[in-house]
Amino acid sequence: MADFRASLTDAAPAPGLEPPLAALWWAAKGDWDRAHKIVQDESSADAAWVHAYLHRVEGDLGNAGYWYRQAGQPVAKDSLEAEWERIVSALLGGGKA
């Protein structure tokens, strides 16, 4: 995930990007607080979906990390992070999977 974040070299998302996509952009950069702030006050269905999705991804990644640590294993890049990277790459690439 760090390599993916480093590949997002712009300091900010493209101007005019819809709030849900801008939120995903910031989450991909690792700025979850900014991502949540962008969509939490939006009233569109897309913004609500992205906001819920951000909470789910954070929870899933947190739970995965917890269980890795409970098993005495280092927290490695797991399938959840790979899926998150694929989804964000597709969305930021204009929907190309």
> Quick one: pLDDT band at residue 97, thresholds 50, 70, 90?
very low
24: closest CA among 42, 72, 66? 42
Kindly provide the b/e burial profile for residues 53-75, where b requires at least 16 CB atoms within 10 angstroms of the residue's own CB.
Answer: bbeebeeebeebbeeeeeeeeee
DSSP designation for 9: -
pLDDT value of position 96: 47
Q: Which two tokens stand for residue 66?
A: 């917890």
pLDDT tens for each residue of 54-95: 888 777 777 766 666 677 766 555 555 666 677 777 766 655
pTM over 0.85: no
